[in-house]
Amino acid sequence: MRRDLLILSTFLAVAATVACSDPERTGARFCAELGEQAPLLAGPLGTPDEVDELVERYRDLEKITPLAIEEEWTILTDLVEAASDVDPSDPRSQQDVADAAYKAERPARDIAIWVETTCGISMPDVVGVEGSVPVVTAPQVAPTTTVDPSATTSETTGATTAATTTAGATSVAP
């Protein structure tokens, strides 16, 4: 009887965890959804309904955002929401959005880099925050060895060995 209760309680705990868990937060799923939504994340927005739809798109993407950029995406989503609620006649409201935009600048760059390198998609600009960031990788340069032409053969061989050991390069012996 006790064993049956233990099995039942374990089963119920697992079922509750599965039922209440977040959707799958994989990069592939996020990239696929973002690929479909990216054109709709850019402005201009002309009506309050379009603004509300934009906020909803960011919130929907937030639900499947990979953990690697979850915090950054939340900050960006909060900015979009704050911008949707701004009162143009209230200087305090305008300042709040400006502060949120400033706070979201680095996270927006981090998201753009992650999205461009992981998904191959350029992020649109968000409320004055640049989204698209060129991703630059350093060129791969093979190490080189320079041998003094006036050196003797034994000095050259020693230089070649030392250069090969320290730089991982092979030089031509005379």
**pLDDT value at residue 151:** 57
**pLDDT value at residue 29:** 95
Please state, for a pLDDT cut of 70, what percent of the chain lies above it.
59
Burial class (CB in 10 A: 0-12, 13-18, 19+), 140: exposed
As a whole number of angstroms, the distance between CA 130 and CA 124 comes to: 8
Using alpha carbons only, give the angle 168, 171, 172 rounded to the nearest 5 degrees: 155
What size, in residues, is the chain? Answer: 174
Q: What is the pTM of this model?
A: 0.61
**pLDDT value at residue 147:** 55
- pLDDT digits 0-9 by tens, 90-148: 999 999 999 999 999 999 999 999 999 999 999 887 655 544 444 333 444 444 555 55
Both tokens of 83, joined, read: 């911008």
Query: Around Cβ 168, how many Cβ atoms within 10 Å?
Result: 10
**pLDDT value at residue 20:** 46
**pLDDT value at residue 46:** 80
Q: Which segment of 25-29, 54-58, 162-166 scores lowest on mean pLDDT?
A: 162-166
Report helix, strand or coil for 1. Answer: coil
The answer on pLDDT for 89 being more than 60 is: yes
Query: Around Cβ 66, how many Cβ atoms within 10 Å?
Result: 17
pLDDT band of 22, cuts 50, 70, 90: low
Mean pLDDT on 48-64: 93
